[in-house]
């Protein structure tokens, strides 16, 4: 690996390789006479544009130096990447076959993707009144400028309120008379020029000082006595301090995994080390952040979506300086540099939000494993329903196994039953058993959650006479009726149009088939008019704040029935929820995606895990037309071990991941046909290469239309490649992608390559 901060002064121009954020898988040569700093940001002209790239190396080329363009500008004196992050990004770009410039760019905080300077965001100008001024001096210098006097008096006021008047304690430079620029600008917007004049007149002085860092929280002592299983898991993690050691913490919902994280983190922090915690998008709630802050003190920094770019940069900076103890964030936080890394924790490691679905298609869990090996630290993957990949790695002793088999504290796992929809029909989406169970909960002043994985009112709009259905004109999908907005909407391309009551073909009345959250809500409101009902889906809950408000209401028992999508399945601890009803689980049983049963199991276990978290026993009712399905049987018994063995057996027989390595080419075009032809051509290129390179164990499937061929007006196709030997797959892809980039048909389509794809459409 190239060392960062290599410094050399050059008299003759030297050639440098710059990673520029463009969709080409290579670096570009430029010349420079300046000091070369690997990992620094460089401004270059690229075609007609100016782009900011990263200096990756300095090697001579065969092209004469005179023919190369000089770089425009060196933006940094230091590398913006730590050594280990530089290595991690290079590895990730290679592994995911992502253009290196795009990977570097994605790994930086947004502020450093611009030409903004790489300087300490935690300091800002502070002003104070010059000590030892006489009244005459002050009056003569301010007499003819009311604006300057106003500014002076403001600063004086700040000094007086802190009880420290200039001149009284002029020995100390770090006293309370210093007032930050941001405080001043709040009172006197736009006053910087005035303050500049005051400095020139030597009435005040200026200094760069750390801005005040306040964070709520502080150490609390609400700790619990760890169970023997929790203690043993924690011990194994902390015993691995300072060495690469991946762990799979497999613990049922509510078994106290978070307690294990907290204890292991606390140990590392006491040793002066830093901890990186990754959580799925949906789980980064204030409850979770507070729990970490309450236990680990106020040096916990959360990287959440409502931070500004400046705040993100500040967090990044503090982590890099070793000033934070814990960085808590979603996917992209995996690239946050830590000065003294001690431990990485990936909560809900199976969660699909760890995989970036466009551009730089990395999987944050897998990148984190690589990171831990580069930084020589332990890493914990936690889940109640680990991914098949992780289970497989555990069986092959690549991951050490940690297990929590009991719920912590008083609570026990809920009892699960199936409601057979063939013998017990639904009325407006709710069977009699489920209806009675909800009624009982209301009478006992407990809460119910009804889970349905579909927004809107009804997913199918159909004419009873002629069979016409409302379909999206831009996608191969049904329009969904949204009652609250009276719109027909497509959930794939987001297009919408006014709803209609009659068939456009034969004018008969349209009817709605199937169920969405809105219809279930209506159905329950009509049956329980007194009940307080809350609906949580992306239509109703559009902001993080709204989600937090709703969760607070549930926690304080201001709601009797909660109807929701995945939004309610994760992480929340509601002691009064004793019933979880699953409206319909059957789509997950019959999907073309080979991972669909795994996802179904994860979802149902997660949502069931919401029941009976307190000292009341929980109950789960799953409505299904296939009560005898093998998978549902595992779910009924919450038998993850048997489920995973069964699932792995199926994967092995079909030679699917984790028993093989896959990559998926995707293409899309505005013309029907171009995308498929492009991949048919790609297949031919690939097969030729396999023979030329004498690679074994690789099979290239046929190029096919994507399961949903048309999406947002574009026609899509895909091509799956599978290999029993990972190395061979990557050797092939290196050459293959190069030929694709230079093929003639490449301009007619948009294409991408997805390594270890998590969704097959």
- Enumerate binding residues for ligand ADP (CB under 6 A): 224-227, 230, 251, 253-259, 408-409, 573
Spatial separation of the C-alpha atoms in residues 360 and 358, rounded to whole Å: 6
Give the residues across from 49 on adjacent strands.
46
Nearer to ligand ADP, 253 or 638 (CB): 253
Nearer to ligand ADP, 79 or 227 (CB): 227
Spatial separation of the C-alpha atoms in residues 128 and 156, rounded to whole Å: 8
Q: How far is CA 628 from the centre of its chain?
A: 36
Nearer to ligand ADP, 253 or 315 (CB): 253
* Cis peptide leading into residue 658 (ω within 30°): yes
Nearer to ligand ADP, 343 or 719 (CB): 343
Spatial separation of the C-alpha atoms in residues 210 and 323, rounded to whole Å: 12
230, interface contact from ligand ADP, Zn ion, none, CB < 5-8 Å by kind: ligand ADP
Nearer to Zn ion, 188 or 460 (CB): 460
We find the least distance from the C-beta atom of residue 254 to ligand ADP, in angstroms, to be: 4
Nearer to Zn ion, 122 or 485 (CB): 485
We find the least distance from the C-beta atom of residue 232 to ligand ADP, in angstroms, to be: 12
Spatial CA neighbour of 116 closest among 314, 293, 295: 314
We find the least distance from the C-beta atom of residue 460 to Zn ion, in angstroms, to be: 14
Spatial separation of the C-alpha atoms in residues 676 and 662, rounded to whole Å: 19
We find the least distance from the C-beta atom of residue 279 to ligand ADP, in angstroms, to be: 11
224, interface contact from Zn ion, ligand ADP, none, CB < 5-8 Å by kind: ligand ADP
Spatial CA neighbour of 474 closest among 494, 459, 499, 455: 494
Nearer to ligand ADP, 142 or 345 (CB): 345
Please say whether the beta carbons of 284 and 347 come within 8 A.
no
Give the residues across from 125 on adjacent strands.
208
466, interface contact from Zn ion, ligand ADP, none, CB < 5-8 Å by kind: Zn ion
Which residues bind to Zn ion, rule: CB under 5 A? 463, 465-466, 468, 472, 474-475, 490, 492-493, 503, 505-506, 508
What are the helix and strand counts (H, E) for the chain?
A: 20, 31
We find the least distance from the C-beta atom of residue 334 to ligand ADP, in angstroms, to be: 20
220, interface contact from ligand ADP, Zn ion, none, CB < 5-8 Å by kind: none
Nearer to ligand ADP, 227 or 394 (CB): 227
Round the CA-based radius of gyration of the chain to a whole number and report it.
Answer: 30
160, interface contact from ligand ADP, Zn ion, none, CB < 5-8 Å by kind: none
Please say whether the beta carbons of 560 and 577 come within 8 A.
no
We find the least distance from the C-beta atom of residue 411 to ligand ADP, in angstroms, to be: 7
Q: How far is CA 525 from the centre of its chain?
A: 35
Q: Which residues contact 465 (CB under 8 A, 6 or more apart)?
A: 503, 506, 508
274, interface contact from Zn ion, ligand ADP, none, CB < 5-8 Å by kind: none
Residue 64 structure tokens: 């004469």
383, interface contact from Zn ion, ligand ADP, none, CB < 5-8 Å by kind: none
DSSP string covering 263-330: HHHHHHHHTT-EEEEE--GGG--HHHHHHHHHHH-TTEEEE-TTS-HHHHHHHHHHHHHT--SEEEES
Q: What is the DSSP letter of 469?
A: B
244, interface contact from Zn ion, ligand ADP, none, CB < 5-8 Å by kind: none
We find the least distance from the C-beta atom of residue 390 to ligand ADP, in angstroms, to be: 16
Nearer to Zn ion, 107 or 472 (CB): 472
Nearer to Zn ion, 389 or 476 (CB): 476
93, interface contact from ligand ADP, Zn ion, none, CB < 5-8 Å by kind: none
493, interface contact from Zn ion, ligand ADP, none, CB < 5-8 Å by kind: Zn ion
Spatial separation of the C-alpha atoms in residues 361 and 755, rounded to whole Å: 7
We find the least distance from the C-beta atom of residue 361 to Zn ion, in angstroms, to be: 23
We find the least distance from the C-beta atom of residue 504 to Zn ion, in angstroms, to be: 8
We find the least distance from the C-beta atom of residue 713 to Zn ion, in angstroms, to be: 8
Nearer to Zn ion, 300 or 490 (CB): 490
We find the least distance from the C-beta atom of residue 518 to ligand ADP, in angstroms, to be: 30
Q: Which residues contact 522 (CB under 8 A, 6 or more apart)?
A: 428, 457, 483
150, interface contact from Zn ion, ligand ADP, none, CB < 5-8 Å by kind: none
Please say whether the beta carbons of 445 and 454 come within 8 A.
no
């Amino acid at each position: 690996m190239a060392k960062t901060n290599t410094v050399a002064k050059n008299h003759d121009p030297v050639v440098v390789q710059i990673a520029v954020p463009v969709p080409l898988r290579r670096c570009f040569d430029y010349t420079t006479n300046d000091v070369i700093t690997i990992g620094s940001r460089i401004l270059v002209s690229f075609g007609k544009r100016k782009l900011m790239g990263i200096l990756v190396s300095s090697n001579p080329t065969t092209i004469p130096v005179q023919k190369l363009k000089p770089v425009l500008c060196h933006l940094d004196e230091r590398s913006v990447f730590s050594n280990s992050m530089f290595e991690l990004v290079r590895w990730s770009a290679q592994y995911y076959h992502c253009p290196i410039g795009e990977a570097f760019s994605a790994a930086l905080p947004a502020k450093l993707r611009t030409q903004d300077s790489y300087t300490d965001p935690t300091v800002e100008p502070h002003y104070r009144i010059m000590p030892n001024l006489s009244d005459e001096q002050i009056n003569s210098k301010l007499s003819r400028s009311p604006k300057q006097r106003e500014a002076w008096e403001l600063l004086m006021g700040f000094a007086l309120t802190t009880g420290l008047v200039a001149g009284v304690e002029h020995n100390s430079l770090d006293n309370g008379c210093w007032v930050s620029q941001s405080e001043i600008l709040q009172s006197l917007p736009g006053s910087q020029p005035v303050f500049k004049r005051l400095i020139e007149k030597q009435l005040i002085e200026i200094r760069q000082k750390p801005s005040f860092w306040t964070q709520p929280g502080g150490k609390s002592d609400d700790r619990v006595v760890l169970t023997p299983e929790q203690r043993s898991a924690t011990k194994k993690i902390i015993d691995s301090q300072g060495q690469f050691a991946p762990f799979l913490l497999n613990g049922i919902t509510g078994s106290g995994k978070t307690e294990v994280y907290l204890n292991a983190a606390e140990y590392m922090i006491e040793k002066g080390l830093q901890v990186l915690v990754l959580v799925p998008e949906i789980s980064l709630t204030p409850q979770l952040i507070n729990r970490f802050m309450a236990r680990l003190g106020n040096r916990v920094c959360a990287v959440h979506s409502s931070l500004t770019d400046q705040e993100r940069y500040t967090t990044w900076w503090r982590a890099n300086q070793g000033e934070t103890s814990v960085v808590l964030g979603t996917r992209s936080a995996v690239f946050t540099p830590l000065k003294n890394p001690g431990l990485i924790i990936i909560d809900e490691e199976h969660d699909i939000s760890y995989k970036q679905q466009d551009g730089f298609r990395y999987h944050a869990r897998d990148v984190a494993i690589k990171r831990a090996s580069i930084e020589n630290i332990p890493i914990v993957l936690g889940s109640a329903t680990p991914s098949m990949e992780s289970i497989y790695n555990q069986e092959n002793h690549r991951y050490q196994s940690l297990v929590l088999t009991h719920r912590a504290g008083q609570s026990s796992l809920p009892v699960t039953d199936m409601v057979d929809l063939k013998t017990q029909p639904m009325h407006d989406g709710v069977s009699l058993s489920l209806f009675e169970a909800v009624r009982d909960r209301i009478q006992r002043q407990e809460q119910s959650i009804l889970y349905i994985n579909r927004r809107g009112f009804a997913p199918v709009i159909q004419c009873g006479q002629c069979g016409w259905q409302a379909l999206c004109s831009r996608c191969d999908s049904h329009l969904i009726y949204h009652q609250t907005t009276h719109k027909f909407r497509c959930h794939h391309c987001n297009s919408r149009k006014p709803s209609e009551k009659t068939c456009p073909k034969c004018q008969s009345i349209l009817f709605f088939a199937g169920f969405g959250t809105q219809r279930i809500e209506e159905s329950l409101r009509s049956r329980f008019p007194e009940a307080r009902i809350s609906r949580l889906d992306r239509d109703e809950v559009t902001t993080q704040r709204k989600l937090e408000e709703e969760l607070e209401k549930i926690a304080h028992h201001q709601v009797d029935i909660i109807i929701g999508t995945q939004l309610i399945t994760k992480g929340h601890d509601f002691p009064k929820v004793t019933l979880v009803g699953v409206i319909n689980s059957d789509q997950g049983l019959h999907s073309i995606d080979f991972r669909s049963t795994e996802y179904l199991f994860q979802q149902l276990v997660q949502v069931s895990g919401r029941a009976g978290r307190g000292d009341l026993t929980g109950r789960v009712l799953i409505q299904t037309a296939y009560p005898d399905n093998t998978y549902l049987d595992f779910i009924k018994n919450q038998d993850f071990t048997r489920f995973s063995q069964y699932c792995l057996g199926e994967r092995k027989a079909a030679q699917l991941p984790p028993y093989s390595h896959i990559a998926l080419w995707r293409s899309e075009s505005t013309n029907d046909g171009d995308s498929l032809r492009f991949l048919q051509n790609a297949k031919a290129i690939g097969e030729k290469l396999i023979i030329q390179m004498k690679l074994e164990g690789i099979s290239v499937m046929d190029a096919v239309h994507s399961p949903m061929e048309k999406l947002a007006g574009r026609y899509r196709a895909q091509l799956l490649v599978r290999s029993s030997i990972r190395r061979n797959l990557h050797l092939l892809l290196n050459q293959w992608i190069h030929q694709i980039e230079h093929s003639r048909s490449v301009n007619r389509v948009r294409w991408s390559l997805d390594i270890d794809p998590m969704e097959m459409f």
